[in-house]
Structures are given as C-alpha cells and as structure tokens.
Amino acid sequence: MSNQNRIYKGGRIDRDLAINFKFNGKEYIGYQGDTLASALLANDVHLIGRSFKYHRPRGILTSGSEEPNALVQLGLGARTEPNMRATEIEIYEGLEASSQNCWPSVNFDIGSINNFLSRVFPAGFYYKTFMWPPSLWLFYEHFIRKAAGLGVAPTVKNPDRYEQKFHYCDILVVGGGASGLMSALAAGRSGCDVLLIDEKPEPGGYLRNTSAKIDNLNSNDWTNEILKELESYDNVTILNRTAVMGYYDYNYLTALQKVTNHLPYLSDKMPRERYWRIRAKKVILAQGAFERPLVFSGNDRPGIMLASAARTYLNQFGVLPGKSVILFTNNDHAYGTAIDFANKGAKVTIVDNREDIPSELSDRCNKVKIKIYPSHSIINTHGYQKIKKVEIQKVDQDNNELTGSLREIECDLVLMSGGWNPSVQLFSQSRGKLEYHSKLNSFIPKDLIKNQKVVGCNNGNFNLLEVLKNSYQAGLDFATELGKSANKSLEIETAFEDLEFTEAKVEPYMIGKKKVTHGSKHFVDFQHDVTAADIFLAQREGYISVEHTKRYTTTGMGTDQGKTSNVNALALMSHIHNKPVDNIGHTTFRPPYSPQTIGAIAGRNVDHLFDPERKTAIHQWHVDNGAEFEDVGQWKRPHYFPQKNENIHDAVNRECRAVRNSLGILDASTLGKIDLQGPDVAKFLNLIYTNAWSKLEVGSCRYGLMCNEHGMVFDDGVTTRISENRYHMTTTTGGAARVMSWLEEFLQTEWLDMEVFCTSVTEQWTVLSISGPNSREFLSSLADVDISKEAFPFMKMKEGKVCGIDARIFRISFTGELSFEINVPSRYGLFVWNEFMKHGKKYDITPYGTESMHVLRAEKGFIIVGQDTDGSVTPKDINMDWIVSKKKEDFLGKRSFSRSDTRRIDRKQLVGLLVNDKKTVLPEGSYVVDEAKPRPPMDMIGHVSSSYYSPTCDHPIALSLIKNGLNRMGDVVKIPLMSGKVIDATITDSIFYDKEGARNNE
C-alpha cells in the first residue's frame, strides 16, 4: 500500500505529479512539493536512521533545518552527501537516499548493542577511556571513527560547479515568514533595495501550516497575495532555498543558496549551489522560533515528533503521520495541532503537565472528543522501531513526584511541545546580547547592534497581529533612515491566530520510573545522544560552566548545533544548581547556522585557481625540457632537469658538476627585485641593512643582511647602485613582498621626510644566472661590453647589450664559481635564454634547478634565509658579524644586538657538520644532541638546517645551528634518527669547498 497516511486533499503538494524515489533501496511514491520526510511519513516510514552513540532507532522530529534525527545519505557516487536532513530534502524523480550510522541495516544494527552498554558509555567517555596512554590513541581512533560518525564522505571528486556572488543591498530580511514578509513589504514599497532570504522552497513559514486568519483570508491565501506584490517590485529580490549561514561585523552576512539540488538533473548552465556574500546597510532578522522538545524517558523513539512539525505534515503536505495520537505538552498553543488532528479523524489524547487547563481549551477539546489528562506526564514509552505505547502518571506539582496510578495508552504517534525558542543564533553571531525571558523560558534578543532589527517570534513576540504590524513598522523605520518612505500603510485590521503561544515552563519534566540522574534515557540532545543523566553527571564531575558542560557531554555539538536541545540543557543545569537560567548563561553561537558544503565556500577557487601560480618568462621551456617543478611561494620553479633515466640524485650530481667544471644556467627570475629611487636611498639603505652603503659607487654591488628590530635576520640580497639616485635591490624569492612592505612601513610611518620611492620590479626582469669556469668566455661572445677579468671585477654591474638586447650584467655569484647574472626585460627573457642554450652547446651549457642551486651554495656555506635562519638568528649567530657595521650609529636591529639574550655566548650558531660514516645524508630538521638516549626526551643542542650529498666533495655535507657551535670545532655530536639509529658527526667550518674563494675570481 502506498501513501497510506496521505489525506485526500489539502496542502501545498501536487497530487497529480507523482514522484518515484528510493529509500534504503525500496521504491516509494511521493508528490511534487514533498520533502523526503513528508513522503516517507506518507508511506508510513518512521524509522529513518540510527543515533550517533547508542545506535537507537530514530525517526523524524521536526519539519525543518533544525532536524537532529532524520539524517540520511543522499545520492550516490561522486555526488553523495552525508548527514542531509530528510526534512529539508525536496524529492525529485529518481532520488536515492539511505539511512546512515547503521550496519548491516537500519532495522538490524549491530551497533545498537551500545544502547544496552550505555552505562559504560557515559558523558566524557572518550576522554576518560581513550585518551591515555597517548601512544594508543592512534590505535583507538581507528575503531572509534568507524563506530561513531554519521554518514560517509564521497571518495571521488565532486563534479559539480559552485558559484559565489557578492551582493550589496539596502535592507536584508532574513526569514520569509509572517514577520519577514511584512518587513520586506514595507521596505519594498518604500523603494529600498531589498533582499529577502528564506530557507524553504517558498516563503510563508508558519503561515503555510496554521489555521490563522488574516482579514478574513486564510493565512495561506493571504501569504500568496503578499508574495505576488513583493514579486512585482523590481527592487525586491527573493531567494528561496537559501540559508543565511554567518552574520559578521558591519552587517556582512553569508548565505548558501541551493540552486539545483532539488532537481532530478544537473544543468551545465546552473551551479549546484551559490554562496552569497552580502553587505547590507540594514538587516532585519525574522527567523521565527523553534519548538522545544520535552525531556522525558524514551522521548526519542520513531513516531515521537514535535507538535508543530506534525501540524506542518498535516496541513502543508497532506500527511496524517498517525491515527492514534498523544499530545504531550505544557502550553496552550500545541492544542491547535491536537484539534487539527482530531478534525482529520485521528483519535487524540492530550497529556498536559499543567494542573489548570483553560476551560476554553477543554471545551473545544471535548467537542472533538479529545481526552485531556491534566497534571500528567509521559513517564515511559514503548515500541522499538516505532512508538506503540506510552505510560502516563499524575505528577505532584509541588514536589515533582509521581502520584496516582500508572496508565498505559496505546498509540502510533506522540506529539510533544515544550514551548518555543526564538531562533537567536544569527543574532547572537552578530554579537547581539541575549536575555532570558521568564514567561517564554527562553532567550530573546536584548541589545541590538547598529543597523539591525529583530522582529516577530524571533524577538519573542508570538501575537500574530502585533507581529505583522511591528514587522511592517520595522521595515518602514529602516526605509526612513535610508531616506525613503512608503506611500502605503499596512491595511491589516484583524489577524486571528487560533491559539497563541504566550508562555511555557522549562521545568524538569524528566521524571520517570527510573531515577533520571543515573542512566535513564531522557534525551536532551537527540543527535549526540546526550541524556539528562549525562548533564547531571557533568555537573557532578565539576563541569559546571555551560561551555564545559557542552564540551564534556557534547550537547549542542551535532550538525544541528543544538537548535532543539540547548535551552533544555540550560534549564536542566539551572535546575541542578538551583540557579536561574540567566546565571547559567548560554554557549556561544558560531557560523555556520546549518551545515554547508565546502564546495560552496571554495566556489571557483579550486584546482589551479585555488592559489595563483606565478611563472617566469622561461616557464614553457622548462616544461618542454622535462623539468620537475617545485613550489617556492606561488612561483613554479624548476627543481631539477632529469635526463632519460635519471632520478633526482643523478640529475643534481650532473648539474652540479657541470657548474663546477664548465657552465651551468639557472632561471633566477623569481628573485625579488625592488627599484629604489630618490636622493635619500643611500641614507635609507644604511638604516635598513646592517652594513654601510654611503660609499657604494655607481656600478657597484653589495651584499646586505636585513634584520628586524629584534636583531634577527629576516632577508638578504644584493643591492646595486645603477646611477646616482637609483638602486636595484634583490631579495629572496619568498621574501620579496615582505621586504617591500618592510621598506614601505619605515618610509611611510617613521622617516616621512626621506625621499625614497620603492617599486616592485620582480616580474619586469628575467634573470639568467650563468655560472662556471667557462662563463666569462661564453658571455664575452654574446655581450657588447668588456667583461674581461680586469675590466669587470667581482661585485660590479655593467649595462650593455647581450644577444642584442639591453641588459644589466651583474658580476655576482651564489655558487662560488665565476658567475654572471644577466637581467633583461622579461619580454626578451625567453629569446635570450634560447640564444644562450644555442651558443652554449660548445660548453655543454647545463640548465640547473633549485636543488642544485641549494647544493652548490651549501658547499660554499652560503645561507638561505628561512632555511638556515628561522627568525631567531642574529648575524653573529650565522657567523656573519663581518657584515654588521660597528661604525654606523643606527640601523634596524642594531640596538637589539646588545640585549642580554643576543649577547649570550652559548646561542645556537651556524656551523658545518660532517658525518663520521661519510655516507649518511642527515634529514633536514634532525635534532642534534651531545648524548643520545634510547628514547626522548634528550637535551637538544641544535638542529640540522641544510643537508645534501655534495658531488663536488663526494661526501654528504650539512649546515647546522648548534649551541656555542663556533667554539666547538672538531667536537663529535650525535644525531638520533627517527629509525632509532644514531649518527655521529663532527662540527666543522661551514665552508666545504674553495675556502679562499679563488674560483669566483677567475
């Protein structure tokens, strides 16, 4: 039998449009307009999944985004999505969904053994059991991850497209229910640029499922009229299926729009989801309220749902989820649901824990043959996969004890209503302060932030007429503030809500046969299986702060973020500590408001668009010639150029030998380059670098170290005086932007009178570094300037033509070999490179990558800032005191060199390390110790910062920062490896090759 719970007319579904879908492999039929939850209920499917911890059977609690229980795995393959709320999924032809967190099936789930072992799975169970000893955590984690958790993530890449949109508007209205519609209407009529956002497929909210009447129209028809008017305004945009996720400073909000999720097909032209980033001049929050569950023993069985949700299924979807219905409540408003159910033919019994039921209510119930049990509570429930029976008993209000005789009532549906909680999550995210409302027994907004209003139930007002009028006024007020006004006032005269919500208690209903404080199953947080007993336990164990209780018990930490559970948990704490809820406080609400896909947040910024890639002018040549690349910042740099069967070691050894024996070429274009101009550059450089710059002649280069004010090295490079008032500074590849900002900082904030102008020219120049004993002979045939040894000494720069192109030639070296750095405008870079490769054949010109560059410089003991330094290293620590001027009165960092800490003689210092076995290449980052012990902790005296096999020396070399290292030459130290092996190494000088520097001066 299909759709056995469907009533034959009414609701917002289209009974002519049947839709086939599958749940747990079984085929069902629903109708256009159904959610997965409503279609399953129509087919009398109540058991949707299993709970997180105890694997208890769970059904549908709500009808919206606050759903904690009915989470399903939606879709298959690459598009599968876990933890989707059945209450939000709109069904489409061919939809497939399945229960999660159960094995082998939802009907028979092995994990449910946890339910019977619940006494050994109390709150904080994981912390208590699995966190010690720490070494075993990896072992436990594997099993916990498998046993816990909800749905499964897709294992292949999601093929869908996600878009992002920036949006600016006058007034953003969050929520399209009664209040939101009114605010949007007023703002829209005033000509404001309005964005109205609603979670559901169509706005209307509560007005879609109640029996309210507004000016003699039923609320549904009235809503359609308002919508029609709103849609007629060009200045009003309505977003359905969109949830505001985050509310940040200055009215910046993010929202997730589900664009095609509800369709059976995916269009190439449409994204799956669109992520909105909204900046609104004014924000009106009109999110309504969530109904509060009651906390009683066994309140989690399938077939127990919130009264308002049941009313929605009945009135909006034409589904009567049960025929023998019990309503358990503490407030008048829920009676409306009972009466609606009775009118549709259900047998309804009301269990009301209040003593005095208004006579108007009992009279109306009598008319539709609803039996009421005042002063009663449900104290237990029965039915494993679906509710079958409840036990009720009279409660003595004074001492909260059971009196009278126990009564059992058979049923197939239990509705509960504990009152309503305004949806204050977004308001709270925006830093709005909350206050506890003593009649509603819930938190409502208190202090608004700037340019924000909260209206309707969201603000704790449940009177329909007042809500409509106040919300309209809120829209008008904001329009006026923006200099606009409406030409129409609100014409509503009457709005009649059948039964208004005015007050409800959150006293402890958690009375039961079993003592609630220990091991009973009064669920507070359904998704995380947190019981009242868990809350009691947390208090007993000292986790009495609300934030501690939350984390210890995990209440409110599920994908629903405790929308249905938080207030009940707080009320329980209030009861336990005998303090008002105000004094208990509440936890912090954080974005996102409900779960959202990472895909939407990433948008188009995926794959190669995730982070910009920077490529030099020579890049394509590197690709064509088989370079292996490495990322240096955002730059793609050739790491090495393997030939035929070479691995990285073969290639690097070959490249290094080529440089040492003949001619190598490096694409050094990524080097940071800053053009400095102005009369005060020399003065400026004197303050920026540690050495002296006043006497640098035009055409000369100088190496410099930059320190921060703490005296720590933070960049290095060569700066050249191009002309009287023009200098060319180079920086490390990774430090270019940092150095540029550093220079600007001092020019703009400290030395405002200095005339120095900085321009980044990194990408304007291609830098070809040629290095090797044949480099001069090679270059002399291509350059039109005299580059002989006499005419062009080390650390000089000449301008001239190279291969016919205007170039700057720098006689500097980072390999220790005779080297030239040829800078040409980037547009000629590839041309010159190709010319070099052509003419260099004679010398077997060999392109080399960053790995060889590192080896070659390490052989010479040249540092790499950021590798051999780490922000805690002074020039003296790296044995470069020679570059620190003793004469200059001031430069950045100078004063810090004489601080007691930087003066210490036992600081870590840069030295060479040679392994005694002559073959082990130490892993970079290895710890250096004097005394190796079988296991940590050991006293660390330093670490290995650079380590390579040196083809030139034919043995491994390493640089290391070691305590007092410069005074320990020849000492043997130990390097314990991860494998447990301990390597002996000898402290040496940090220059391993050509100590005199003869080769460079060839």
Partner 1 sequence: MFVIKCPYCGERDQTEFSCHGEAHIARPENPETLTDEEWGEYLFIRSNKKGIHYERWTHDHGCRRWFNVMRDTVSDEILATYKMGEEKPKS
Q: How far is the CB of 253 from partner 1 (least distance, A)?
A: 10
Contacting partner 1 (CB under 8 A), which of 435, 709, 784, 906? Answer: 709
Q: Is 750 in the site for partner 1 (CB under 8 A)?
A: yes
Name residue 801's beta-bridge partners: 806
Nearer to partner 1, 277 or 968 (CB): 277
Span near partner 1 by CB under 8 A; candidates 435-443, 748-756, 785-793, 910-918:
748-756
- How many residues in the shown chain lie near partner 1 by CB under 8 A? 25
- Measured at the CA of 414, the angle between CA 408 and CA 420, to 5 degrees, comes to 130
Classify the phi-psi angles of 48: left when phi > 0, otherwise alpha if psi is within -120 to 50, otherwise beta: alpha
Nearer to partner 1, 709 or 939 (CB): 709
Q: How far is the CB of 643 from partner 1 (least distance, A)?
A: 43
675 backbone dihedrals φ, ψ, rounded to 5° = -90, 120
* 310 CB-side CA count, 13 A: 36
Q: How far is the CB of 181 from partner 1 (least distance, A)?
A: 29
Q: Is 889 in the site for partner 1 (CB under 8 A)?
A: yes
Helical H segments across 63-153, by residue range: 113-116, 125-130, 137-147
Span near partner 1 by CB under 8 A; candidates 25-33, 243-251, 415-423, 920-928:
243-251
221: part of which helix (H) or strand (E)? helix 219-231
Q: How far is the CB of 716 from partner 1 (least distance, A)?
A: 22
Nearer to partner 1, 252 or 927 (CB): 252
Nearer to partner 1, 438 or 759 (CB): 759
Nearer to partner 1, 355 or 745 (CB): 745
Nearer to partner 1, 431 or 904 (CB): 431
Q: Is 710 in the site for partner 1 (CB under 8 A)?
A: yes
On whether the CB atoms of residues 524 and 568 are closer than 8 A, the answer is: yes
Helical H segments across 725-870, by residue range: 736-749, 775-780, 829-839, 850-859
Nearer to partner 1, 254 or 771 (CB): 254
On whether the CB atoms of residues 857 and 994 are closer than 8 A, the answer is: no
Separation CA 287–CA 775 (nearest Å): 74
Query: Cα 418 to chain center, whole Å?
Result: 34
Q: Is 917 in the site for partner 1 (CB under 8 A)?
A: no
Q: Is 744 in the site for partner 1 (CB under 8 A)?
A: yes
Nearer to partner 1, 253 or 991 (CB): 253
Q: Is 741 in the site for partner 1 (CB under 8 A)?
A: yes
Q: How far is the CB of 618 from partner 1 (least distance, A)?
A: 28
Nearer to partner 1, 249 or 363 (CB): 249
On whether the CB atoms of residues 862 and 854 are closer than 8 A, the answer is: no
Q: How far is the CB of 246 from partner 1 (least distance, A)?
A: 10
Instruction: Give the residue among 757, 742, 751 at the shortest CA–CA distance from 678.
Output: 757
Q: How far is the CB of 831 from partner 1 (least distance, A)?
A: 33
> According to the 3-state scheme, what is the secondary structure of 258-299?
ECCCCCCCCCCCCCCEEEEEEEEEEEEECCCEEECCCCCECC
Contacting partner 1 (CB under 8 A), which of 135, 155, 399, 748? Answer: 748
629: part of which helix (H) or strand (E)? strand 628-632
Preceding omega of 592 cis (within 30 degrees of 0): yes
Q: Is 612 in the site for partner 1 (CB under 8 A)?
A: no
Instruction: Give the residue among 608, 58, 60 at the shortest CA–CA distance from 312.
Output: 60
Span near partner 1 by CB under 8 A; candidates 236-244, 356-364, 855-863, 891-899:
891-899
On whether the CB atoms of residues 599 and 96 are closer than 8 A, the answer is: no
CA dihedral (957, 961, 966, 968) positive or negative: negative
Query: Cα 565 to chain center, whole Å?
Result: 24
Separation CA 676–CA 682 (nearest Å): 10
Q: Is 831 in the site for partner 1 (CB under 8 A)?
A: no
- Using CB under 8 A, which residues numbered 427 to 486 contact partner 1? 431, 449-450
On whether the CB atoms of residues 726 and 676 are closer than 8 A, the answer is: yes
Q: How far is the CB of 249 from partner 1 (least distance, A)?
A: 5
Q: Is 899 in the site for partner 1 (CB under 8 A)?
A: yes
Nearer to partner 1, 431 or 518 (CB): 431
Q: How far is the CB of 612 from partner 1 (least distance, A)?
A: 13
Contacting partner 1 (CB under 8 A), which of 252, 757, 831, 927? Answer: 252
Q: How far is the CB of 146 from partner 1 (least distance, A)?
A: 39
Nearer to partner 1, 431 or 842 (CB): 431
472: part of which helix (H) or strand (E)? helix 464-481
- Using CB under 8 A, which residues numbered 103 to 142 contact partner 1? none
- Which residues does 899 contact at the CB level (< 8 Å), separation at least 6? 711
CA dihedral of residues 845, 851, 856, 857 (deg, nearest 10): 130
Name residue 243's beta-bridge partners: 256
Nearer to partner 1, 9 or 887 (CB): 887
CA dihedral of residues 138, 139, 142, 143 (deg, nearest 10): -140
CA dihedral (912, 916, 922, 926) positive or negative: negative
- Using CB under 8 A, which residues numbered 498 to 537 contact partner 1? none
Nearer to partner 1, 854 or 907 (CB): 907
Nearer to partner 1, 504 or 743 (CB): 743
Span near partner 1 by CB under 8 A; candidates 283-291, 642-650, 718-726, 897-905:
897-905
Contacting partner 1 (CB under 8 A), which of 896, 938, 971, 993? Answer: 896
Q: How far is the CB of 754 from partner 1 (least distance, A)?
A: 13
Going residue by residue from 558 to 597, which x/- string records binding to partner 1, judged by CB under 8 A?
----------------------------------------
Enumerate binding residues for partner 1 (CB under 8 A): 248-250, 252, 279, 431, 449-450, 709-710, 741, 744-745, 748-750, 752, 889-890, 894-896, 898-900
